[in-house]
Amino acid sequence: MIRIPCLLIGYLIGCIQTAYITGKRKGHIDIREMGSGNAGTTNITRVFGLKTGVFVLSADILKAIAAFALCSQIFAFTGTPGLLLGFYAGFGTVLGHDFPFFLKFKGGRGIASSVGVMFCVDWRAGLIIAAIGVALIAATRYVSLGSVTMLALFPIFTLFMGKGAEAVLLAFILAALAIYQHKGNIRRLLNGTERKITFKKKGAPANDYRNET
């Protein structure tokens, strides 16, 4: 039962929707009505530029790390492994980021927060997975391809790093959620119509990249 409070704490932390808040403070806009309509790093970068995108990316990674560290410590007295306590909190953070209650459950796609979870589960695996994802994005300029690949690798690394069956299951669920959230992007990748990331524009019109990552 201690897993439920961890999920809830993580969810509330995840509901701190960095891209949405940044859009409101920086441009007095709802980022979900600009660019792709997604409240995440790629869309905020397309609309406001790389510097703002890096800030949002970092904040979304850090909120998952914070949730992981918090729950793994405050519930340590239960005897449940800290890895699992933190993992549930991290998973909750991704859910809060993707489906924030105060935004009618329309948020981002949780990749940055998932990367934060990866680093907490095993920083070595996290570095390798992140490096693969960044390399793919740099080579192809398809953010969605790098994002989905990273999450698909996560349960595999979790298994081979010997983190236990429950941790592998959670990693698999995170991967499945990421794939579901990117189903439109995957379809466009397969038919060759996915838009590549560019840093040349700021303030893109509201419907330029609708439904993209």
pLDDT, one tens digit per residue, over 184-204 is 999 999 999 998 887 554 544
Instruction: Answer yes or no: is pLDDT of 206 > 70.
Output: no
**pLDDT tens for residues 30-72?**
999 988 888 999 999 989 999 999 999 999 999 999 999 999 9
106 Cβ neighbours under 8 A, 6+ residues apart: 32, 39, 99, 100
Mean pLDDT of 149-171: 96
Q: Whole-prediction pTM value?
A: 0.90
Q: Cβ(201)–Cβ(187) under 8 Å? A: no
146 pLDDT above the threshold of 70: yes
Q: Which of 130, 125, 174, 173 is nearest to 150 (CA)?
A: 130
Q: Where are the domains of the chain?
A: 3-191
**pLDDT value, residue 198:** 75
Q: How much of the chain exceeds pLDDT 70, in percent? A: 93
